[in-house]
Amino acid sequence: MSDRINTRSMAAVTGLLLEGWALYVVGAPPERWRPALIVREEPTARVLYETMIQTLREARCLSYTSACSNPDDQSSTYWIWLKKPGSFGVDFINDASLKSTMLLDDGRSLWIHWTGDRPTLLLDTERSREDPRSNVYIKKASLAAGGSLRNEVALLGTAWVGLIFDPSVFYGGPGPLVIGMDGIRGRGTDSVQGEECDVIEISLLKARHICYVWISTRDHLPRRFKEIVRGAQVRVTVEEWSNVTVNAEIPPKKLAWSPPPDWRQWDPPSLEDSLLQSGQEAPDFTLCSARRGKLRLSDYRGRVVWLYVWDTGSPQCRAEISGFQQLYREYPDKGPVFLGFNCSDDRRIARAFLRENSVTFPSVLDSSEAATRLLRVDYGNKGGILPLNYIIDPQGRVVDGWFGQEQDPDRVLAALRKAGLGLAQPTE
Q: d(Cα 99, Cα 94) in Å, to the nearest integer?
A: 8
Closest CA to 191 of 217, 210, 221: 217
**Closer to another protein by Cβ: residue 142 or 245:** 245
CB nearer to another protein: pick between 193 and 357: 193
List 1, 5, 26, 36, residue binding another protein (CB under 8 A): 26
Among 138, 161, 199, 416, binds another protein (CB under 8 A): 199
- The least distance separating another protein from the CB of residue 73, rounded to whole angstroms, comes to 9
Instruction: Please list, residue by residue across 291-318, b when 16 or more beta carbons sit within 10 angstroms of its beta carbon and e when fewer do.
Output: eeeebebeebeebbbbbbbbbbbbeebb
Site size toward another protein (CB under 8 A) is 26
Interface pattern 358-387 for another protein (x via CB under 8 A)? ------------------------------
Rounded Cα–Cα distance for residues 68 and 224 (Å):
10
Distance, first Cα to last Cα, the chain: 86
Please tell me whether residue 27 binds another protein under the rule CB under 8 A. yes
Q: Which is nearer to another protein, 240 or 393 (CB)?
A: 240
Secondary structure class of 78 (helix, strand, coil)? strand
Interatomic CA distance for residues 10 and 41, integer angstroms: 49
- Site for another protein (CB under 8 A): which residue of 6, 10, 13, 22? 22
Q: How far is the CB of 298 from another protein (least distance, A)?
A: 28
Whole-number minimum distance, CB 90 to another protein, in Å?
A: 21
Considering only CA atoms, give the Rg of the chain. Answer: 25
Asked whether position 188 contacts another protein by CB under 8 A, the answer is yes
Q: Select from 230-238, 353-361, 383-391, 397-405 the region that touches another protein (CB under 8 A).
A: 230-238
CA distance 83 to 254: 10
Q: Which helix (H) or strand (E) holds 229?
A: strand 222-230
Out of 6, 10, 31, 280, point to the residue binding another protein (CB under 8 A): 31
Return the number of the residue (228 or 386) whose C-beta is nearest another protein. 228
Q: Any long-range contacts for 324-331 (C-beta under 8 Å, 24+ apart)?
A: 324/359, 324/361, 325/357, 325/358, 325/359, 325/360, 325/361, 327/427, 328/360, 328/361, 329/360
Please state the closest distance from residue 31 (CB atom) to another protein, in A.
5
Q: Which one, 15 or 409, has the nearer CB to another protein?
A: 15
Q: Shortest distance, CB of residue 346 to another protein, whole angstroms? A: 14
Site residues for another protein, 93-132, by CB under 8 A, read none
Give the helix ranges, DSSP H, for 297-408: 315-330, 347-356, 369-373
Nearest-approach distance from CB 124 to another protein, in angstroms:
24
Pick from 200, 209, 201: nearest CA to 318:
209
**CB 42 → another protein: shortest distance, Å?**
15
Q: Rounded to an integer, what distance in angstroms lies between the CA atom of residue 109 and that of residue 419?
A: 40
The nearest distance, CB 176 to another protein, in angstroms, is 19
C-alpha to C-alpha distance for 298 and 87, rounded to whole angstroms:
51
Using the rule CB under 8 A, which residue among 51, 70, 109, 125 binds another protein? 70
How far out from the chain centre does Cα 315 lie?
11
How far apart CA 238 and CA 225 sit, in angstroms, is 6
Stretch of 50-58, 125-133, 234-242, 258-266 contacting another protein, by CB under 8 A: 234-242
Q: Report strand pairing: 87-94 vs 74-83.
A: antiparallel
Q: Is 25 in the site for another protein (CB under 8 A)?
A: yes
**Is residue 133 within the footprint of another protein (CB under 8 A)?**
no
| Residues near another protein (CB under 8 A) | 15, 18-19, 21-27, 30-31, 70-71, 187-188, 190, 193, 199, 201, 212, 226, 228, 234, 236, 238
